[in-house]
Amino acid sequence: MGEENWEKIETIIDRALELPESQRDTFITEQCKGNERLKSEVTLLLESIFDSEGWLDDPKDYKEEFYNDISDDVKELSSQHTLIGQKVGSYTIKEQIGKGGMGAVFLAQRSDDSFEHRVAIKIIREERATQTNIHRFEQEQRILAQLNHPAIAQLYDGGITADGFPYIIMEYVDGTPMDDHCRINKCSIDEIVSLFTQVLEAVRYAHENLVIHRDLKPDNILIDDSGNVKILDFGISKLLKDENGSTRPTEEARLLTPRYAAPEQIRQEPDKTSTDIYALGVVFYELLAGTGPFAFNDRSHYAIEQTILKKEPPQPSTQTADSTLRKKLEGDLDAIVLKAIRKDPEDRYRGVTEFLDDLYNYQHNLPVHARKGTTIYRLSKFFKRNKKGLAIAAGVILLLVSLTGFYTWRIAQERNHAQLQADRAEEITNFLVSILQLNNPSENVGKDITVSDALLHGIDYVEQQEMSAFNRATILGTIGSIQINTGDIEEAGITLEKGMAFVTDSLTEQSEKTIAIGTKYAEWHEDVGNTREAERYYNLTDSLFRAHQLTNTLTFYAHQLNYSDFLLENGQYEKALQVLAQSEQNLNNTAGKNPSLLDLQADLYNNRGRAYKNMGEHRKALDNLDKALTLKQEIYEENNPKIGRLYHNMGVVYATISDFGQAKKMAEQAYTIRVQTLGPEHQLVGSTLHLLGNIAFELEDYEQAFEYNKKSIEINKQKHGPEHFRYALAIREYAKTLSATGRFEEARKQIDQAISIIGDNYGKDHPYYGYMTKTYAEIFAEVEDYAQAMEYGQQTISNFKRNFGPQHPNLGKVFCNQAKYAMKSQKYRQVDSLFTAGLEILELHFDRDNPLIREADSLLTVFRANLP
């Protein structure tokens, strides 16, 4: 980008941001007048603005900061270019080789011919030359000057350039980032440990000199051609003493790499040596397992922070598909890595020396300290999160029922493998005995052992005892399912992830029970909002069922129904119907009609009804839901959550066709059942409160609507988190009620938050984004800003056409809304065609006496009668 073009680019972007989205492309094309390079720069910068989190948080402040940064970068391109060939100290700058948070780094060659010597020179950038950054730059000089270690890049000189900019001359390291070096050279575990020991020795030296690095990562740890380690970039490191010699925490602005940031850094607590130990643990984890402890791809900044703060990392050994590598990592190395990256700094190695001692012990087949107290540590952490538990008897019964059923099934299927089954039976028996011993008064005096304790004990038992991969997978899958049922969602994800690793180990002896762990893990990802991962595990599990010819089983039918659930939640209604059709064909070919089959058949009707509802075929929806209810009532008592689910879904359909009296009746029945059987804080209660709030809104009972809205928001945020679509939809319902009662500013803030959640986490093409823009239009119409209302209405039409097709009733409703906005804003030419288009769609789905049709028909008749 040339500096001479910047003012013109800034002007075009400023004006484009003020236009509706539909007009921006045309405006940019006109302003650029055939200059394709200028148009490309403008378009790319606009995309950068809209893709950023700052734009959604505060557009005005973000735009100002963005312009300042870009303007600075334009200047920088010129200033840095002029530095090439310039002399700094005794060296001539040859090329730029890097750029940090406050300085550019250049490769330089000694100017005289006395001897050949290449160095790296860091020069503070002109536009970053604030007093704070100059102070930090000078501090970096002091830090490097006091560190003299062969594995730390050496400082040679420092000073001020002729132009007045501080610089430091450092050792130039021609090396490869540590992770790349290990991958390219296919380093063995022993070679990785040996290299990593060099890194620890250097960091220990820095800590002994009262220096914390704060940003250790593979890019800052290079390996030269001789295999020697060099640690770079103390640009954000901190001295443990200030100029007066007193120890103090530093509170300057933080320059972190989130992937390697410790929990205390996320919380912005003072850094200690344990901060570096955490980062080293993450680096060591990646070197051993080939991947990090957490997947951060496509995750928001908030989600990354919450993962670092709350999610327990899986063992490195579970992250690799290589069975030989897994066996080498299991045990000592798993324990060493996990100790280094524990959430609480006090639970990590107390210093780098302890870290080194454990690696020495590992290398010499001595006991490692990290393996001591594993169960106590896990339980203590769990107690902090769970203050209320159930009796151990409940957990034991659940485990006995699940595992005994599994074992009986396996015996019936494999009578010719008696010894194999005997071994498995002994493993299961030993496992259950270890659970029962938890409740032995002589061994646990004064302890109130809960089902959570039992489950965590079971996980530790599986990890520490010799056991077949088949049994490990089955037990962990069972425990994960129980954790979900008891509401321990976070621990369930960790457990199921471990279970899935053992599923791949037992591929030659798969049963439907072990493969079904994949379905449960997919459901877990769906519950916490990881849509892509959920779909991946649904597809993986489907492939495993088919590969092992287990598609004619009840477990596979249940898997298909769960998958159709996922598709419905994500707007893939046609595909959901296809999956349900396959499942129905399989069910019809299954002999007998026992309660389990009837239950699955009812679930199939339920999901089909939901699909038809979303596709606008309301009669078919109610027919299928009625069939489902009839079957469920043959199997269960009336006060059962499965009955409550059907009342809820029928209430949704009745609300959609504007029969709010019947909708209210169904929703209240669902609410009563769910509260009585699941408790008032359950996520399904939150869902029904959302429905009741919508019905109260439509009946103009706004006081009651507010009450339902607030409870729904609270439950959905608690159960699903602040980035889940259910939380966003609950906020949208609240915004509608605020707008209807004249509280427009509050309504705008709420819908802004909701649309950001959907846009950031699900994308603008998702049907829920269309619901958000529809509500935006309605709020603007309330304040008589009909131009904006029509703009958001047009976005909604595009979204609904893409997701629902050209004849969906939702589309008909939006056309009628657009007609009203056009009439109010005196755009009379559009009114007739919009009403006509809307009525043609609505009449395909509703009776003539439907309130929506009556209102639109009446308005169109009056409009035509008053035409000149």
| Residue 127 to residue 77: CA distance in whole angstroms | 12
753 or 59: which leads in pLDDT: 753
- Token representation of residue 637: 């008592």
* Nearest partner of 252 among 124, 126, 135, 125, judged by Cα: 135
- Mean pLDDT (whole number) for 483-491: 71
- pLDDT at 10 exceeding the cut of 50: yes
Task: Give me the pLDDT at residue 149, please.
Answer: 83
- Mean pLDDT (whole number) for 259-285: 90
Instruction: Quick: pLDDT tens for 771-783.
Output: 999 999 999 998 9
Q: Cβ distance 723 to 300 under 8 Å? A: yes
Instruction: Quick: pLDDT tens for 211-220.
Output: 888 889 998 8
Instruction: Quick: pLDDT tens for 522-533.
Output: 888 877 767 788
| Residue 618 to residue 621: CA distance in whole angstroms | 5
- Token representation of residue 767: 């049907």
- Mean pLDDT (whole number) for 135-159: 70
Conformational region of residue 298, where left means phi above 0, alpha means psi within -120 to 50, and beta covers everything else? left
Give counts: helices (H), strands (E), the chain.
Answer: 37, 11
Task: Give me the pLDDT at residue 217, please.
Answer: 92
345 or 26: which leads in pLDDT: 345
- pLDDT at 684 exceeding the cut of 80: yes
SS3 for 148-203 is CCCCECCEEEEEECCCCCEEEEEECCCEEEHHHHHHHCCCCHHHHHHHHHHHHHHH
Task: Give me the pLDDT at residue 553, please.
Answer: 80
DSSP type of residue 3: G
| 28-32, 480-484, 548-552: segment of lowest average pLDDT | 480-484
* Nearest partner of 492 among 462, 459, 470, judged by Cα: 459
| Residue 149 to residue 159: CA distance in whole angstroms | 22
Q: Cβ distance 94 to 84 under 8 Å? A: yes
Nearby residues of 1 by Cβ (< 8 Å), 6 or more positions away: 9, 41, 70, 74, 77
| Residue 392 to residue 113: CA distance in whole angstroms | 80
Model confidence at 554, pLDDT cuts 50, 70, 90, reads confident
Task: Give me the pLDDT at residue 369, please.
Answer: 83
Residue with tokens 């591929």: 507
Task: Give me the pLDDT at residue 555, please.
Answer: 82
Which ranges constitute the DSSP H helices of 290-391?
301-310, 323-329, 332-340, 352-363, 374-385
Instruction: Quick: pLDDT tens for 294-306.
Output: 988 766 677 788 8
Q: Which amino acid is at 510?
A: Q
Residue spans per domain, the chain: 3-78, 84-171, 175-367, 373-527, 776-868
- Mean pLDDT (whole number) for 491-516: 71
Task: Give me the pLDDT at residue 521, please.
Answer: 83
The strand pairing partners of 391, in sequence order, are 450
CB atoms within 10 A of CB 496: 27
Instruction: Quick: pLDDT tens for 646-674.
Output: 999 999 999 988 899 999 999 999 999 99
Which strands, in side-by-side order, build the sheet including 103-110?
87-88, 91-99, 103-110, 118-124, 166-171, 155-160
% of the chain exceeding 90 in pLDDT: 30
Q: Cβ distance 324 to 158 under 8 Å? A: no
| Residue 342 to residue 377: CA distance in whole angstroms | 10
Task: Give me the pLDDT at residue 141, please.
Answer: 61
673 or 867: which leads in pLDDT: 673
- pLDDT at 42 exceeding the cut of 60: yes
Cβ neighbourhood burial of 639 (10 Å; 0-12, 13-18, 19+): exposed
- Mean pLDDT (whole number) for 351-380: 74
Model confidence at 441, pLDDT cuts 50, 70, 90, reads very low
Q: Which of 74-78, 309-313, 432-436 has the highest mean pLDDT?
A: 309-313
Model confidence at 189, pLDDT cuts 50, 70, 90, reads very high
Task: Give me the pLDDT at residue 64, please.
Answer: 52
| Residue 541 to residue 562: CA distance in whole angstroms | 11
Q: Cβ distance 66 to 49 under 8 Å? A: yes
Task: Give me the pLDDT at residue 868, please.
Answer: 60
Task: Give me the pLDDT at residue 211, please.
Answer: 80
Task: Give me the pLDDT at residue 748, please.
Answer: 92
Task: Give me the pLDDT at residue 498, please.
Answer: 83
Instruction: Quick: pLDDT tens for 72-119.
Output: 444 444 444 467 888 887 788 888 887 655 567 889 988 776 556 788
| Dihedral pair phi/psi, residue 121, rounded to 5° | -120, 125
- pLDDT at 385 exceeding the cut of 50: no
Task: Give me the pLDDT at residue 136, please.
Answer: 61
Annotated ligand binding at 122? The verdict is yes
- pLDDT at 38 exceeding the cut of 80: no
| 375-384, 432-441, 478-487, 563-572: segment of lowest average pLDDT | 375-384
| Residue 173 to residue 156: CA distance in whole angstroms | 13
Model confidence at 146, pLDDT cuts 50, 70, 90, reads low
Task: Give me the pLDDT at residue 298, please.
Answer: 63
- Mean pLDDT (whole number) for 143-153: 75
| Residue 838 to residue 835: CA distance in whole angstroms | 5
Architecture of domain 175-367: Orthogonal Bundle (1.10)
253 or 311: which leads in pLDDT: 311
Task: Give me the pLDDT at residue 670, please.
Answer: 94
Task: Give me the pLDDT at residue 733, please.
Answer: 94
- pLDDT at 857 exceeding the cut of 80: yes
- pLDDT at 741 exceeding the cut of 80: yes
Task: Give me the pLDDT at residue 763, please.
Answer: 87
CATH class label, 776-868: mainly alpha
Superfamily of chain region 84-171: Phosphorylase Kinase; domain 1 (3.30.200.20)
- pLDDT at 153 exceeding the cut of 50: yes
709 or 1: which leads in pLDDT: 709
- pLDDT at 405 exceeding the cut of 90: no
- Token representation of residue 795: 């976005």
Mean pLDDT, the chain, whole residue set: 78
Instruction: Quick: pLDDT tens for 223-262.
Output: 988 888 999 876 445 433 333 333 333 333 345 678 899 9
- Mean pLDDT (whole number) for 141-165: 72
- pLDDT at 329 exceeding the cut of 60: yes
Q: How many CA atoms lie within 13 A of 794 on its CB side?
A: 11
